[in-house]
Structure 1
Amino acid sequence: MKLVGIYRQIALTMMAMAVGITLLVVITSYVLYALWQKYWPNYFPDEDYMQTGPEWVWFILTTLTALALAVGVASRISKRILSPLKSVTDSIKKVADGDLSARAVANKHAPLEAFHLVNDFNVLVEKLQQATNEQVFWNAAIAHELRTPVTILRGRLQGLAEGVFEPDERQFRSLLMQIESLKQLIEDLRVVSLVESGHLPLNHQKVDISSEIQHVVESMTDVLKKSNQHVIMDIQANSAFCDPLKIRQAILALLENATKHALPGGILIKTSMVNETFSISIEDEGPGIPDTFIAQMFTAFRRAPTACGQGSGLGLAVVAAIAKAHGGQVAYAKNVKNGSSFTITLPHQISTLP
């Protein structure tokens, strides 16, 4: 099949229309006079109304003028349509060659459909560029987070193998601590990745929230004591339908975040049920999160400027991912003490969960 460009198609179509209309007028005029002379001869004029030589010249010149106008109109319309399409085509080639900064341009005279095409293409490329940049950032961040514990493990194991370190309990506990750090990082990455792809398995069941909170607090006893913090519990709703392991992981992440960044004092853990929505909030006594960081606080590997490199930057992203997997969400606000207040809300009815 031979492909024909849009410009040529429009030009040929306009020319065909001009010639067709002209021929239609001439042919129908002959038919009209023939029928008139045959069926109504008494009313047929005596004068000769058929075309003379000058009239044929006029007919040919008129046709040529109509063709010229058709080509001009076709050219103008084609440019308005083809200009944004050509821009999109050129940008697609650049994107295919790896230039994700390429953008199409639509002039102010472009048709509405062409304008929408250019705009949708630019939005698509922008999202592709963001996804690519995010992937590059993730690869670099994961490599950075894995490098520290792996380097420590390698150094200590090499020291043990060469006899530099004594193989005592302290060394083994240090190795176990690094392995636990690696295990937690891998689990956090797994949760965030699976939620983004919509494949995180959940084991929904009726959960005793106060018991789960108590288990987490007990596991954090030494850390809380070291940071001069204590937990205050306000349990107004004691049960919810959720995955107990994942909710425990979210509570643990929020508590760890408070112990690393909040001031010494109380950490309030509160649960409630309002309009068939279960919520659990964790509040500290400050100093809160900088306003400039709030927009990206739940994004993986993002750290506030005041974090001083503490943690992997995955904690809050994991909390947001777990809430999303349950069909809920997590929100942040500053409390009356200017501290941080994180609230996880979950739908109460398990039947409504995806």
Structure 2
Amino acid sequence: MKPRISLTRQLAVAMAAQATIATMVSTAAFYIVYGVLERERIVSPLPPGVEDTTWLDVTITLSVCVVGVLLAWLVAVRLARRIVRPLGAVGEAAHRIAEGDLATRVAVIGEAHGETAQLIADFNAMADRLQRMSDDMKVWNAQIAHELRTPLTIFRGRLQGARDGVFALDEALIVGLMQQVEGLTRLVEDLRSVSLADSGQLHLMLSDVDLAAELSEMTPILSSMLTPAGFGLDMALRPGTVRADPARIRQAILALVDNARRHADPCVLRISTEWTDETAAITVADRGPGLAAGFQDHAFRQFARGMPTPGGSGLGLAVVQSIARAHGGDATYARSADWAMFRIILPRSTAS
């Protein structure tokens, strides 16, 4: 394996060679041009006995060549250091990150300007994102294990009890087991949706959707969710069209209604649509306590919970925001004197 030549030495040698070649070409060009001018009698030839080239000429030419090479070498070394030091720092940091030290960052370097300064900034931003992703993955693994453990433990306990004769394998037991299966299915689908959104792979089947008609069709299933928990339902829907994936919109609405059912005090849940020239908004409002003041900024994060709730995974609002952002919109929370309002904002369809 050939030994590596440093970038500093390569630049210095290249610039010194360039200076030498430039001096030699300039000298040769001078004599050639002067010879042509003499032959064409544009300039007077030298008197007889006077040599065209003297040792003084040679000495001057060589001196200029040496000085040019030295100056080129000094300039190349200085320039190379300004380039190589930031690159070396980035390379060393990248090597440490490759070995698993995700906390590594490149310190500010005075010689870094322009593209090298931008390279350092981009590298540090990349390292920050990698570390956040690694930390999030650790949290995700712990949270997923926690969320799966409870229903699986219940499932296993009920089945083992039925096998041992402790529980009768009757309709009530089967219904309870089906509820656990449904909870696991919902958790898996929520995890899938959030993961796809984070990776930019949450693909949408877009069409022109009349929100009022779409939400009206959901009234029976929404009522079946709310009525047993003591909630009523009020639909205040203004018609209008958006370019959206109707299945994902239904998923987001179900997540918001389920969130209200779990956390709000029994009341009449209000679902409304609002329109501007550029956006459409679906609002799910309840008269419950709403989000705690210190929790509002974290409510839409994965596995975020304001308070422990049986059956909740902490993914509902994260799913809502992921779906809204996949449509080019967003999900927000606001509090008025009487209402806690979760809002899905979508861009309007050009067809409306």
Class of the TM-score when normalised by the shorter of the 2 chains: 0.7 to 0.9
Distance 1:33 1:309 in 2: 96
Number of the residue aligned with 1:198:
201
Q: Which moved more, 1:174-183 or 1:270-279?
A: 270-279
Mapped to 2, the partners of 1:42 and 1:87 lie a distance apart of: 61
1:326-337 matched pairs, under 5 angstroms: 326-337=327-338
Distance 1:58 1:166, change over 3 A: same
Question: Which residue pairs with 2:137 in the alignment?
Answer: 135
Structure 1 residue 281: Cα displacement: 0.6
For 2:72, the equivalent position in structure 1 comes to: 70
Equivalent position to 1:119, from 114, 118, 121:
121
Identify if the C-alpha distance between structure 1 residues 172 and 76 changes in structure 2 by more than 3 Å, giving closer, same or farther. same
**Residues 140 and 47 of structure 1: CA distance in aligned 2, closer, same or farther (over 3 Å):** farther
Instruction: Tell whether the 8 Å contact from 2:274 to 2:281 is kept in structure 1 after alignment.
Output: yes
Which residue of 2 is the match for residue 253 of structure 1?
255
Which residues of structure 2 form unaligned runs of 5+? none
1:146 Cα shift? 0.6
- Does the aligned pair in 2 maintain the 1:237–1:273 contact within 8 Å? no
Name the residue aligned to 2:217. Answer: 211
C-alpha distance in 1 between matches for 2:32 and 2:188: 87
- Aligned-partner SS, 1:69: helix
User: In structure 2, the residue corresponding to 1:317 is in which secondary structure?
Assistant: helix
Distance, in Å, in 1 between the alignment partners of 2:345 and 2:118 is 38
Are the equivalent residues in 1 in contact too, given 2:87–2:116 (CA < 8 A)? yes
Equivalent residues in 2 for 1:1-354 (5 A)? Answer: 5-31=6-32, 34=35, 39=41, 44=46, 52-53=54-55, 56-57=58-59, 59-105=61-107, 107-196=109-198, 197-200=200-203, 202=205, 204=207, 206=210, 207-223=213-229, 225=230, 229-237=231-239, 243-275=245-277, 277-304=279-306, 307-308=307-308, 311-337=312-338, 339-349=339-349
Residue 350 of structure 1 and its aligned partner are, at CA, apart by 8.2
Q: State the alpha-carbon separation in 2 of the partners of residues 244 and 30 from structure 1.
A: 83
CA shift at 1:47, angstroms? 9.9
The structure-2 alpha-carbon separation of the partners of 1:37 and 1:213, relative to structure 1 and needing over 3 Å to count, comes to: same
The 3-state SS of whatever aligns with 1:220 is helix
Secondary structure of the residue that 2:73 maps to in structure 1? Answer: helix
Q: Would the alpha carbon gap of residues 313 and 67 (structure 1) be closer, same or farther in structure 2, given more than 3 Å must change?
A: same
Q: How many residues align?
A: 345
Deviation at 1:348, TM superposition (A): 4.8
Aligned-partner Cα distance in 1 for 2:234–2:43: 111
**Take 2:279 and 2:36, find their aligned partners in 1: how far apart are those partners?**
84
- Name the CA shift for 1:345/1:106 in 2 (closer, same or farther; >3 Å): closer
Deviation, structure 1 residue 160? 1.6
Deviations 1:170-207 (A, max 9, x none): 33332222222112212222333344443445475554
1:149/1:178 contact within 8 Å kept: yes
| Aligned-pair CA distance for 1:61 | 4.2
Q: Deviations over 1:240-291 (max 9, x none)?
A: 6755544333222212222333345443222234337443211223433234
What letter is aligned with 1:120?
Answer: D
Q: 1:22 aligns to what SS in structure 2? A: helix
1:314 deviates by 0.6
The alpha-carbon deviation at position 222 of structure 1 amounts to 0.9
Moved more, 77-86 or 270-279: 270-279
Q: 1:188 is aligned with what amino acid?
A: D
Task: State the AA in 2 paired with 1:212.
Answer: M
**What's the secondary structure of 2:218's corresponding residue?**
helix
Asked if the contact 1:208/1:239 (under 8 Å) is kept, the reply is no
Report deviation, 1:326.
Answer: 4.3
Q: Distance in 2 between matches of 1:26 and 1:188?
A: 77
CA contact (8 A) 1:330 1:342 kept: yes
Distance of aligned partners of 1:180 and 1:112 in 2 relative to their CA distance in 1, 3 Å threshold: same
CA contact (8 A) 1:84 1:105 kept: no
Cα distance change, pair 234–74 in 1 and its aligned pair in 2 (3 A): same
Displacement, 1:82?
0.6
* 1:107 counterpart SS class: coil
Which letter does structure 1 place at the counterpart of 2:91?
T
TM normalised by structure 2 equals 0.82
In structure 2, do the counterparts of structure 1 residues 47 and 33 end up closer, same or farther at CA, with 3 Å as the change threshold? farther
**8 Å contact 2:226–2:232 — kept in the other structure?**
no
Assess, with a 3 A threshold, how the Cα gap between structure 1 residues 262 and 236 changes in structure 2: closer, same or farther.
Answer: same
| Counterpart code for 2:301 | T
Cα gap change, 1:150 to 1:54, in 2 (>3 Å): same
Q: Give the Cα separation in 2 of the matches to 1:47 and 1:161.
A: 124
For 1:102, what is the secondary structure of its paired residue?
coil
In the alignment, the residues of structure 1 paired with residue 134 and residue 8 of structure 2 have an alpha-carbon distance, to the nearest angstrom, of 36
